[in-house]
Amino acid sequence: MFKVVDLETLVDEQLALAYEASSGRHSVTLKGDHHEDLRQTLIAIAGGNALHEHDSPGEATLQVLRGEITFTVGEGQMALGAGDLLVIPPARHGVEAVTDCALLLTVATRGER
């Protein structure tokens, strides 16, 4: 009936997979797809790696579950750490992992149908 996710264990698993990946990152979708109104994805990035500049996914938030990141939009940068929640601006942006980090990306997908 209830779906409970142990985020601490999942973060550990995803970070281990990130270290094995040539990109230095790994992700898993926790909820949703293109047929639902909400998608949540856990993204783990090994320190020193990045999600290079990309388009905004639409209405979305990014919550730092572990570690520290630098979020870049255009020429602006913002340091974020565990416990921070960012409303992602509707602009191209990138993420650099200052330390090993885990992020929870929440996207409203209703416009993708």
Instruction: Supply the DSSP string of 18-54, one letter for each residue.
Output: HHHSTTSEEEEEEE--TTSSEEEEEEEE-TT-EEEEE
Asked whether residue 113 carries a pLDDT value surpassing 80, the answer given is: no
- Return the pLDDT at 72: 96
Name the token pair of 13.
């698993």
pLDDT at 112: 54
Q: What is the pLDDT of residues 59-77, one digit of tens each?
A: 999 999 999 999 999 889 9
What mean pLDDT is predicted for residues 1-8?
90
The single-letter DSSP state of residue 74 is T
